[in-house]
């Protein structure tokens, strides 16, 4: 354990932020304003009541609510490691996460308690499951805890993502990683006086965690309107009511907003919409800007392994189709001859420590100090980065990662499915849609219904094709390129 908190300690940063900005209404949620000092005090007291030690993982599975950032701050103050989990995870996948991360505690919402208990039954190292509400309130009734000593390189967050194998991996992010990511993100997009934001992204997503890190770097008091989850008509109503100036989204949210009567809402205060987590079709950005006069839509690029940030379009300097220029402290290299597209490689102090308990995957991803992203891109003469393709089989649906192997393994549990392969199909609404090809004596509708029950959430295939046999490459692997060609 470190002798004293390092300069990038996130709990110490939270204290400095409150000292710098003072007490003010900082978070609106479902009709109630929460003040900065009250939220900070609750986190400090909760840090004492959680009963976790430095290095302990605390899995947090909740929909957006004020207690999500409060719990994160409490865990950091106690020296623990935040392990966010998206509440859409099916029981089987949540079970794998719990077994791998070995959290000492799980904090969840009452509505998800039964699923969490089923997924965590018998898990090694798990001592307690706590529900938000009265049970969590009781833990925040004691005295405030001091900031536990943690070094800058100590683990702050363990975020589960996926790779080419399809099996989820834990991305290890340090206090320094997240502190610098927040600073880089804030400085890259800062506009004086732009202080009213709307947050509908899941705070359990790497993108949502980045927003919290950016908020801790604020130079002036700011207020955020938080949604439990995204709903387009409610988003528009809140943007109008609170005179929102900036909002972060994923492309599928923009598609859903474009289906709404935008012109019926007063969005004249909205100055910037920042899109990330998935490719943004240029025509979507152009149409949104046309229908919401005065707004600037800025696209950025990042991945969990880079603390969710690599590059972004600066305010007033948008290059449509580009994901902008690298943020401060980040180098981007294209592994290809000059002018040609190639794999995007990233070097910065925001790059992860590595994958949890997976040194081989870490060595494959980070070579000679460079993170190999698996994405293909190019850089223009002005330094703007363009993402043109992905080398991974990863499917990004609505900003969420879907890993084909996970879906395929679930489909193979159907007694009539002999073989299965899953690919992504371009989709105007979600960016990509999940499509399954299966071989066997089975009906497509039956497989679709089974998948919806077995997998659920955002990742079950919306389209199933029954084929005589899956196409194979010469070395016997499923030919995904041939399957995509059929679509």
pLDDT digits (tens, 9 = 90+) for 257-309: 998 999 999 999 999 999 998 778 788 899 999 999 999 999 999 999 999 99
Looking at domain 178-390, what is its CATH homologous superfamily? Answer: ANL, N-terminal domain (3.40.50.12780)
Cα distance between residue 34 and residue 224, in whole Å: 10
What is residue 127's predicted lDDT score, i.e. its pLDDT? Answer: 97
User: 165 CB contacts (<8 Å, ≥6 apart)?
Assistant: 405
What is residue 177's predicted lDDT score, i.e. its pLDDT? Answer: 98
Min mean pLDDT across 190-204, 268-282, 306-320 is at 268-282
Question: What is the pLDDT confidence band of residue 408, given thresholds at 50, 70 and 90?
Answer: confident
Rounded mean pLDDT, 117-133: 96
What is residue 457's predicted lDDT score, i.e. its pLDDT? Answer: 80
**Reported pTM:** 0.83
Question: What is the pLDDT confidence band of residue 149, given thresholds at 50, 70 and 90?
Answer: very high
Min mean pLDDT across 115-119, 244-248, 350-354, 408-412 is at 408-412
CATH 3.40.50.980 domain range(s) in the chain: 10-152
Strand ranges inside 276-382, DSSP E: 296-301, 311-312, 325-326, 330-335, 342-348, 354-355, 366-367, 370-379
CATH 3.30.300.30 domain range(s) in the chain: 395-486
Q: Say whether 365 sits in a helix, a strand or coil.
A: helix
Provide the residue count of the chain.
Answer: 487
Assess whether pLDDT exceeds 60 at residue 428.
yes
Question: What is the pLDDT confidence band of residue 392, given thresholds at 50, 70 and 90?
Answer: low
What is residue 164's predicted lDDT score, i.e. its pLDDT? Answer: 34
Tell me how far CA of residue 50 lies from CA of 40, 91, 307, 356, in angstroms. 15, 25, 26, 23
Question: What is the pLDDT confidence band of residue 90, given thresholds at 50, 70 and 90?
Answer: confident
Average pLDDT, the chain: 92
CATH 3.40.50.12780 domain range(s) in the chain: 178-390
Question: What is the pLDDT confidence band of residue 390, given thresholds at 50, 70 and 90?
Answer: low
CB neighbourhood size of 368 (10 A): 7
CATH number at 10-152: 3.40.50.980
First to last CA, the chain: 54
What phi and psi, each to the nearest 5 degrees, are found at residue 297? -100, 115
Question: What is the pLDDT confidence band of residue 331, given thresholds at 50, 70 and 90?
Answer: very high
Assess whether pLDDT exceeds 90 at residue 162.
no
Cα distance between residue 339 and residue 388, in whole Å: 13
Rounded mean pLDDT, 191-207: 95
pLDDT digits (tens, 9 = 90+) for 429-482: 999 999 999 999 999 999 999 998 888 788 899 999 999 988 875 444 578 888
Assess whether pLDDT exceeds 60 at residue 3.
no
DSSP 8-state secondary structure symbol assigned to residue 177: H
Q: Please say whether the beta carbons of 167 and 403 come within 8 A.
A: yes
Specify the higher pLDDT residue, 88 or 212.
212
Residue 3 token pair: 């002798």
Report the share of the chain in percent with pLDDT over 90.
77
What is residue 477's predicted lDDT score, i.e. its pLDDT? Answer: 59
Q: Please say whether the beta carbons of 407 and 168 come within 8 A.
A: no
pLDDT digits (tens, 9 = 90+) for 166-186: 467 999 999 999 999 999 999
Q: Say whether 102 sits in a helix, a strand or coil.
A: coil
* Alpha-helix residue ranges (DSSP H) falling in 315-381: 359-365
Residue 215 token pair: 């908020």
Question: What is the pLDDT confidence band of residue 2, given thresholds at 50, 70 and 90?
Answer: very low
CATH number at 395-486: 3.30.300.30
């Amino acid at each position: 354990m470190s002798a004293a908190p390092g300069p990038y300690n996130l709990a110490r940063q939270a204290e400095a932020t409150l000292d710098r900005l003072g007490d003010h209404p900082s978070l609106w949620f479902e009709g109630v304003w929460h003040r900065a000092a009250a939220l900070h005090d609750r986190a400090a007291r909760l840090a004492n009541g959680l009963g976790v030690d430095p290095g302990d993982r605390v899995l947090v599975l909740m929909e957006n609510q004020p207690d999500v950032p409060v719990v994160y701050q409490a865990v950091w103050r106690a020296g623990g490691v935040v392990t966010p989990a998206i509440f859409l995870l099916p029981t089987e996948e949540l079970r794998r996460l719990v077994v791998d991360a070995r959290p000492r505690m799980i904090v969840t919402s009452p509505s998800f308690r039964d699923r969490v208990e089923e997924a965590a039954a018998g898990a090694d190292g798990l001592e307690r499951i706590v529900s938000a509400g009265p049970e969590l309130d009781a833990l925040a009734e004691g005295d405030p805890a001091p900031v536990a000593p943690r070094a800058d390189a100590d683990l702050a967050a363990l975020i589960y993502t996926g790779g080419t194998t399809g099996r989820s991996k834990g991305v290890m992010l340090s206090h320094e990683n997240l502190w610098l990511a927040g600073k880089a993100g804030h400085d890259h997009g800062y506009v004086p006086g732009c202080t009213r934001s709307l947050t509908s992204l899941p705070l359990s997503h790497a993108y949502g965690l980045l927003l919290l890190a950016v908020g801790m770097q604020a130079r002036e008091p700011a207020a955020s309107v938080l949604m439990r989850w995204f709903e387009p008509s409610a988003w528009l109503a809140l943007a109008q009511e609170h005179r929102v100036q900036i909002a972060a989204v994923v492309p599928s949210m923009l598609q859903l907003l474009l289906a709404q009567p935008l012109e019926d809402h007063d969005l004249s205060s909205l100055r910037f919409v920042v899109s990330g987590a998935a490719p943004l079709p240029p025509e979507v950005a152009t149409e949104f800007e046309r229908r919401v006069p005065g707004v600037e839509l800025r696209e950025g690029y990042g991945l969990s392994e880079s603390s969710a940030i690599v590059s972004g379009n600066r305010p007033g300097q948008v290059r449509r189709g580009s994901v902008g220029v690298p943020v401060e402290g980040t180098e981007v290299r294209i592994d290809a001859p000059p002018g040609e597209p190639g794999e995007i490689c990233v070097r910065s102090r925001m790059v992860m420590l590595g994958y949890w308990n997976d040194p081989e995957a870490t060595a494959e991803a980070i070579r000679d100090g460079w993170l190999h992203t698996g994405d293909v891109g190019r850089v223009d003469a002005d330094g703007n980065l363009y993402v043109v393709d992905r080398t991974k089989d990863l499917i990004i649906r609505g900003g969420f990662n879907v890993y084909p192997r996970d879906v395929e393994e679930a489909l193979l549990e159907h007694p009539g499915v002999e073989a299965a392969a899953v690919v992504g199909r371009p989709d105007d609404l979600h960016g990509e849609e999940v499509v399954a090809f299966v071989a066997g004596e089975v009906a497509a509708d039956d497989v679709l219904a089974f998948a919806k029950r077995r997998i659920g959430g955002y990742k079950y295939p919306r389209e199933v094709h029954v084929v005589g046999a899956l196409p194979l490459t010469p070395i016997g692997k499923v030919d995904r390129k041939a399957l995509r060609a059929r679509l």
